[in-house]
Amino acid sequence: MPQEFAEYPTTRIILDCSEIFIQRPSAMLAQSETWSDYKHHDTWKVLVGITPNGQVSDLSYLWGGRISDKQITRESGVLDLLDAGDNVMVDRGFDISNIVPDGVTVNMPPFLAGRDQVTAAETEETMSIASVRIHIERAIGRMKTYHILDGTLPNTLSPYATQIVTVCGLLTNFLPPLLKPANP
């Protein structure tokens, strides 16, 4: 376990979703399924899971950008791989605490939820979680350095899109580790 995760020793996986811009589909149903209000563009969405050392360990199939992070997590099957005592780290607003298996905990930065401000302790907790959760953003950034993913994916590649994203994700595992393990 990398030293950065000393406060979170039971972290099994860090999850986040990423969106890949795609060419606007011609079919109206496909347009409605791929439109992302968040990105204001048609997208494919993928759930990415990394280990605490930054290795990509799980990639979902691609879904239309309209799907929620919670739904893609539920449908992906990644939760079936967790055991009691495991911890999942996610970003604020990625609340999956009510769909994880019994005995699995979720580390998510606190958010306002109808309050005017967060407490000092919540601010510290947010900073602590964010300092280690940032590594999934770095891993996703590595995936997108493969130029096939840095623009708009044409419709002609749609049948192969899941395989393309999977290969890009797995190729990042051949790069130097994002984090080094703690010295024994």
Calculate mean pLDDT across residues 86-96. 88
pLDDT at 108: 85
pLDDT at 116: 67
The string of DSSP codes covering 36-77 is ETTTTEEEEEEEEEE-TTS-EEEEPPPEETTS-HHHHHHHHS
- Per-residue pLDDT tens digits for 39-82: 999 999 999 999 998 999 999 999 999 999 999 999 999 999 99
| CA 136 remoteness from chain centre | 7
Label residue 45 exposed, middle or buried (CB < 10 Å: 0-12, 13-18, 19+).
buried
Calculate mean pLDDT across residues 3-31. 92
Phi, psi of 146 (to 5 degrees): -75, 120
- Per-residue pLDDT tens digits for 140-176: 999 999 999 988 999 999 999 999 999 999 999 999 8
d(CA 176, CA 68): 32
The string of DSSP codes covering 133-144 is HHHHHHHHHHHT
Sign of the torsion angle spanned by Cα atoms 129, 137, 140, 180: negative
Calculate mean pLDDT across residues 116-124. 75
Calculate mean pLDDT across residues 101-122. 78
| Residue 5: pLDDT over 90 | no
Angle between helices 120-143 and 161-171 (to 10 degrees): 110
70: CB partners within 8 A, 6+ apart? 94, 95, 96, 99
